[in-house]
């Protein structure tokens, strides 16, 4: 994974989930006696002050640039007041324990359990090969699914796997947002499986998983579903107006357009007064229309993958041309009393 992507992910995590999911990442775990250990916060948090403790014993506290170290650790610990990272040098076996950071501004609590091993045990190959807590880096993060073209409203499962890596943790992203469990989303298998209980056409993603352990991390390639849905929301317009709200004069050219929400796009057919026209596709061109072409126009949408269809019918009214109306009006002027009665027949 590129550094840029990591930085973007860190920023996202921070802005999306606030500080609730900050973790303590040790520079090594187990650590070797005599070595120096750094405990960093991830994602980065901007704390105005706080404290570090091992078990119930405080190690140090800080506020702004000032830090105060308690006697048990004086001389071998320091906190980076900007990042809250704790550095502990000259480790001894007694330094094993749960290290917790606490801040009230912003509110944050996080901890990590650290084991310090004697030099020989730490370097000993038997320990390294048998103890699972020696961390192997995360490699080849892969996102997979058996349902790459799910039907809308069906469940889909995404799984995240690594080809190697000690006890990885997983985070999931949908576009730029972290996915958290809610009524439509569930996690399982240690968060390595994301199940969308009821996939929707809006679950376009792209989905990514981020796998990490204290020594490394990686992001999967983006994954996009092709959700199969519709057709629905079929609409029809005439010269970009709602057909129901307009009438058109004879002699004009009409473009009747049909749209439908459908994945994949619906096949569109046209009908007039219930009879199919020899036209398919999203627009029906009517050139130099006359009054006899008034009537119900239908657009029929068919999705050949959902095998569903839908339709809309709108009445298109074509009136006499403006010129005819005007002539009629002039001619009718002397016989005004009849006007209203005649107009109803125009
Ligand atoms: C110092 O360490 C001793 C023994 O490990 C412990 O009993 C004591 O509470 C510690 N003191 C502080 C201030 O944490
Ligand atoms: C460490 O953090 C976990 C989860 O945040 C919490 O359940 C646990 O009580 C904490 N342990 C200590 C010793 O603070
Ligand atoms: C990554 O993992 C996938 C699936 O687990 C596998 O097919 C692929 O060969 C792996 N690639 C490498 C470079 O290990
Ligand atoms: C799935 O979602 C659709 C709309 O989002 C809803 O109509 C349907 O009832 C849901 N089905 C289940 C099983 O939750
Ligand atoms: C799964 O993720 C949630 C946050 O989305 C976290 O609280 C939980 O600890 C994770 N579980 C595991 C096993 O990593
Ligand atoms: C993914 O993001 C889209 C767009 O923000 C949203 O509509 C959809 O509900 C999200 N799906 C899941 C599973 O989080
Ligand atoms: C991810 O790994 C990179 C190096 O590969 C490292 O610089 C970065 O701090 C790691 N990020 C996390 C969150 O572990
Ligand atoms: C599609 O139709 C549904 C109801 O059938 C409605 O809730 C939704 O807002 C419509 N979407 C659009 C983009 O018109
Ligand atoms: C209608 O279309 C025809 C041919 O496409 C064109 O000759 C004619 O001028 C158009 N009429 C109007 C009123 O736009
Ligand atoms: C429909 O159109 C096609 C080509 O556009 C033509 O070959 C066919 O004869 C037409 N059928 C009718 C009934 O007009
Ligand atoms: C649906 O129609 C498209 C284009 O007309 C075609 O390419 C595709 O194979 C059809 N799919 C099915 C399942 O019939
Ligand atoms: C149009 O849709 C209605 C239901 O909305 C249905 O009853 C009718 O059969 C459909 N017509 C055609 C030609 O598919």
Higher-confidence residue: 336 or 229? 229
Q: Would you say 101 and 26 are in contact if contact means Cβ atoms under 8 Å apart?
A: no
**What's residue 123's pLDDT?**
62
User: Which residues lie with the beta carbon below 6 Å from any ligand 11 atom?
Assistant: 304-305
- What pLDDT band is residue 10 in, cutting at 50, 70 and 90? very low
Question: Burial of 171 by CB count in 10 Å (0-12 exposed, 13-18 middle, 19+ buried)?
Answer: buried
Is residue 221 predicted with pLDDT exceeding 90? yes
Of all ligands present, the nearest one to the C-alpha of 232 is 8
Of all ligands present, the nearest one to the C-alpha of 197 is 4
- What pLDDT band is residue 342 in, cutting at 50, 70 and 90? very low
In angstroms, the CA 85 to CA 3 distance is: 20
Backbone dihedral angles phi then psi of residue 133, each to the nearest 5 degrees: -80, -5
* Range of weakest confidence among 10-14, 214-218, 225-229, 251-255: 10-14
Q: What would the mean pLDDT of 44-60 be, rounded to a whole number?
A: 92
Report how far apart, in Å, the C-alpha atoms of 246 and of each of 249, 258, 271, 288, 320 are.
10, 16, 20, 17, 14
Q: What is the DSSP letter of 139?
A: B
Q: What is the CA radius of gyration of the chain?
A: 35
In angstroms, the CA 331 to CA 319 distance is: 18
**What's residue 46's pLDDT?**
85
Ligand 2 site, residue 100, Cβ cutoff 6 A = yes
Which atom belonging to ligand 5 lies closest to the Cα atom of 180? 5
**What's residue 132's pLDDT?**
41
Q: State whether residue 272 is helix, strand or coil.
A: strand
Give residue 312 CA to ligand 12 midpoint distance, Å. 8
Cis? peptide before 264, omega within 30° of 0: yes
User: Which residues lie with the beta carbon below 6 Å from any ligand 4 atom?
Assistant: 153, 198, 200
Of all ligands present, the nearest one to the C-alpha of 251 is 9
Is residue 228 predicted with pLDDT exceeding 50? yes
Is residue 287 predicted with pLDDT exceeding 50? yes
pLDDT tens digits, one per residue of 154-198: 999 999 999 988 889 999 999 989 999 998 999 999 999 999 999
For each of the domains in the chain, give its residue range(s) and CATH number, in order of start: 3-134 (2.60.40.10), 142-219 (2.60.40.10), 229-342 (2.60.40.10)
Is residue 8 predicted with pLDDT exceeding 60? no
Q: What is the pTM of this model?
A: 0.60
In angstroms, the CA 310 to CA 302 distance is: 7
- What pLDDT band is residue 235 in, cutting at 50, 70 and 90? very high
Ligand 9 site, residue 252, Cβ cutoff 6 A = yes
Question: Burial of 71 by CB count in 10 Å (0-12 exposed, 13-18 middle, 19+ buried)?
Answer: exposed
Give residue 163 CA to ligand 3 midpoint distance, Å. 6
Cα–Cα nearest to 273, from 237, 246, 298, 304: 298
- What pLDDT band is residue 134 in, cutting at 50, 70 and 90? low
Give residue 53 CA to ligand 1 midpoint distance, Å. 11
The mean pLDDT value of the chain amounts to 85
Is residue 199 predicted with pLDDT exceeding 90? yes
pLDDT tens digits, one per residue of 36-47: 999 999 888 888
Q: What would the mean pLDDT of 271-280 be, rounded to a whole number?
A: 96
Give residue 311 CA to ligand 12 midpoint distance, Å. 6
Is residue 12 predicted with pLDDT exceeding 60? no
H or E element, residue 101: strand 97-104
Ligand 2 site, residue 98, Cβ cutoff 6 A = yes
């Amino acid at each position: 994974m590129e550094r840029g992507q990591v930085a973007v992910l860190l920023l996202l995590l921070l802005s999306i989930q606030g500080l609730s999911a900050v973790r303590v990442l040790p520079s090594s775990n187990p650590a070797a006696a005599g070595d120096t250990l750094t405990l960093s916060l991830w994602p980065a948090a901007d704390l105005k002050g706080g404290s570090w403790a091992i078990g119930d014993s405080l190690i140090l506290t800080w506020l702004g640039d000032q830090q105060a170290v308690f006697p048990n650790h004086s001389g071998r610990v320091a906190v980076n007041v900007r990042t809250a990272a704790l550095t502990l040098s000259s480790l001894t076996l007694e330094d094993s324990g749960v290290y917790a950071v606490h801040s009230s501004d912003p509110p944050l609590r996080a901890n990590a359990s650290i084991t310090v091993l004697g030099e020989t045990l730490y370097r000993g190959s038997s320990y390294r090969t048998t103890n699972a807590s020696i961390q192997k880096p995360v490699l080849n993060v892969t996102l997979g699914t058996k349902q790459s073209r799910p039907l809308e409203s069906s469940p889909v499962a995404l799984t995240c796997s690594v080809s190697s890596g000690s006890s990885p943790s997983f985070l999931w992203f949908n576009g730029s947002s972290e996915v958290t469990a809610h009524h439509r989303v569930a996690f399982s298998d240690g968060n390595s499986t994301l199940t969308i209980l009821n996939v929707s056409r809006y679950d376009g993603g792209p989905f990514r998983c981020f796998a990490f352990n204290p020594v490394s991390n990686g992001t999967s390639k983006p994954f996009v579903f092709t959700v199969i849905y519709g057709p629905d929301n079929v609409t029809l317009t005439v010269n970009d107006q709602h057909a129901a709200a307009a009438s058109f004069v004879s002699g004009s050219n009409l473009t009747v357009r049909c749209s439908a929400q459908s994945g994949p796009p619906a096949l569109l057919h046209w009908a007039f007064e219930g009879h199919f026209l020899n036209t398919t596709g999203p627009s029906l061109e009517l050139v130099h229309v006359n009054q006899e072409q008034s009537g119900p126009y239908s657009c029929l949408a068919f999705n050949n993958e959902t095998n569903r269809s839908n339709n809309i019918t709108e009445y298109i009214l074509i009136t006499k041309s403006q010129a005819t109306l005007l002539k009629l009006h002039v001619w009718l002027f002397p016989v005004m009393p009849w006007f209203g009665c005649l107009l109803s027949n125009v």
